[in-house]
Amino acid sequence: MMKFDKLLKNKYLHYAAVALMVINVLGYVAMGSIECILVLGGAAYLAQHFTKNRTADIFIGLFVANILFGCGRLREGFKEGNVEEQAKKTAAVARTKAKEHSANGEHDKAATMAKAAAVVSEAGEVAKKCAEGEKMVNGQCVKPGAM
């Protein structure tokens, strides 16, 4: 127990905790997550009333904000919607990029983008084949209740 107290009083650990807290706060600001900043600050402030160690207060605040409140969670970028329409838009962008690369003399990149456009376009066509209410799973149309 004595080594743990000595570790918490280490100035380098304190500087590391402060740096970690600053990085987290900057990440929350970048995400526009004011509630995460408030949770981190509030938890650290409350911990201050129970401990006399600022390093422990910072770690408690980080734990509450990232683990208990879930501010450190990753968000998936996929959005539900019309798959065929999304495929058409993506394929059009890929074709435009292929033309740009071809015009610049970058024929390898142009060929790769053209192939990507073809694959995305084909995926949109396959998605059309499923009946209304069905989703494409591993190349087969499946009703949502059957997954």
In this predicted model, what pLDDT tens digit does every residue of 10-65 receive, in sequence order? 999 999 999 999 999 999 998 888 999 999 999 999 999 999 899 999 999 999 99
Tokens of 141: 């149309």
Tokens of 19: 């740096």
pLDDT (0 to 100) of residue 13: 93
| d(C-alpha 102, C-alpha 13), whole Å | 54
Domain positions in the chain are 2-68, 83-146
pLDDT (0 to 100) of residue 25: 94
pLDDT (0 to 100) of residue 128: 66
Residue 136: its H or E element: strand 135-137
Quote the percentage of the chain above a pLDDT of 90. Answer: 33
What band does 141 get if pLDDT is binned at 50, 70 and 90? confident
